[in-house]
């Protein structure tokens, strides 16, 4: 970390759009899945680094509700990497003590991977030092629609009263229920858009877009993003 920021606390919640795997592979004449494999390695490295810095929540965009438009081969490759990572998480759970949460609609995910997601979430539910949220078949709008449906079901069952609905209450129906909004959202790869990421949660997040491809993203890039975050003047609509 640069000297200027060494005394500043990192954001409590950082979210990352892990983008640029395809271009990274293309530049090297490799198949797309080689880019995703390299991206998965970067994720491991950055998750560890976040933990060293004392970041409490890390949310990563792994597969969007729009990513089904890709080839079957690419989709299977991404799902396989996810499976591999979750097996690793389950194996090393007692050592790492990281809470794993999966955001997204898992009904479309194959049973084997879905079971791993559920197992990792259940078994790590007691760890509360660090939490990693994986966004898998995740779309911000889809998340809101699923939350509306769950809320309406609660109203019909007499557990909720519409006249008492507040933003805070509604947020509990989102996949991110109980997790504070991210202060910082980072997108590598040079693209400057959210691509359906954290639609509800990002209203006051600071965005940092970076020109590095995700597989090349390093701890010093994260330092730079955090330093940029600390230079921002967050007003939340006030003076």
Can you tell me which of 38, 50, 55, 63 binds ligand IPE, judged by CB under 6 A? 63
3-class SS letters over the chain = CCHHHCCCCCCCEEEEECCCHHHHHHHCCCCHHHHHHHHHHHHHHHHHHHHHHCCCEEEEEEEECCHHHCCHHHHHHHHHHHHHHHHHHHHCHHHHCEEEEEECCHHHCCHHHHHHHHHHHHHHCCCCCEEEEEEEEECHHHHHHHHHHHHHHHHHCCCCCHHHCCHHHHHCCCCCCCCCCCCEEEECCCCCCCCCCCCCCCCCCEEEECCCCHHHCCHHHHHHHHHHHHHCCCCCCCC
Shortest distance, CB of residue 73 to Mg ion, whole angstroms?
17
Site for Mg ion in 16-45 (CB under 5 A): 19
Using CB under 6 A, which residues numbered 95 to 154 contact ligand IPE? none
Out of 5, 67, 196, 216, the active site residue is 67
Report the C-alpha gap between 149 and 152 in whole angstroms: 5
Q: Which range of residues in 12-20, 64-72, 108-116, 206-214 is near Mg ion by CB under 5 A?
A: 12-20
Among 10, 11, 22, 77, binds ligand IPE (CB under 6 A): 22
> Which CB, 10 or 35, lies closer to ligand IPE?
35
> Is residue 19 among the annotated active site residues?
yes
Shortest Cβ distance from residue 123 to ligand IPE (Å)? 25
- Residue 19 near ligand IPE by CB under 6 A: yes
The catalytic residue among 19, 175, 181, 221 is 19
Q: Which does 64 bind (CB under 5 to 8 A by kind): ligand IPE, Mg ion, none?
A: ligand IPE
Q: Which of 14, 40, 50, 61 binds ligand IPE (CB under 6 A)?
A: 61
Does the footprint of ligand IPE cover residue 207 (CB under 6 A)? no
Q: How far is CA 163 from CA 155, 178, 239, in A?
A: 11, 22, 32
Distance CA 239, CA 235 (A): 6
Does position 23 bind ligand IPE by CB under 6 A? yes
Q: Which does 85 bind (CB under 5 to 8 A by kind): Mg ion, ligand IPE, none?
A: none
Q: Work out what residue 62 binds among Mg ion, ligand IPE, none; the CB cut-off runs from 5 to 8 Å by kind.
A: ligand IPE
Annotated catalytic residue 129: no
User: Which residues would be at the binding site for Mg ion (CB under 5 A)?
Assistant: 19
For the annotated catalytic residues, the residue numbers are: 19, 67
């Amino acid at each position: 970390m640069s000297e200027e920021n060494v005394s500043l606390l990192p954001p409590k919640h950082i979210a990352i759009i892990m983008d640029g795997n395809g271009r990274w592979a293309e530049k090297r004449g490799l198949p797309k899945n080689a880019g995703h494999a390299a991206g998965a390695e970067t994720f491991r490295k950055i998750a560890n680094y976040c933990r060293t810095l004392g970041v409490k929540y890390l949310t990563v965009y792994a597969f969007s509700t729009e990513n089904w438009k890709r080839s079957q081969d690419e989709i299977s490759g991404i799902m396989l990497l996810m499976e591999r990572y979750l097996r690793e998480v389950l194996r090393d759970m007692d050592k790492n003590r990281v809470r794993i949460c999966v955001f997204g609609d898992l009904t479309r995910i194959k049973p084997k991977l879905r079971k791993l997601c559920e197992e990792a979430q259940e078994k790590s539910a007691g760890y509360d030092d660090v939490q990693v949220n994986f966004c898998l078949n995740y779309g911000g709008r889809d998340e809101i629609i699923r939350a509306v449906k769950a809320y309406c079901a609660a109203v019909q069952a007499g557990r909720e009263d519409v006249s008492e609905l507040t933003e805070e209450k509604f947020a509990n129906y989102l996949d991110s229920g109980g997790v504070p909004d991210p202060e910082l959202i980072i997108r590598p790869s040079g693209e400057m858009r959210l691509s359906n990421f954290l639609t509800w949660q990002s209203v006051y997040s600071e965005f940092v877009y970076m020109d590095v491809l995700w597989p090349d993203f390093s701890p010093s890039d994260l330092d730079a993003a955090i330093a940029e975050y600390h230079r921002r003047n967050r007003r939340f609509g006030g003076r």
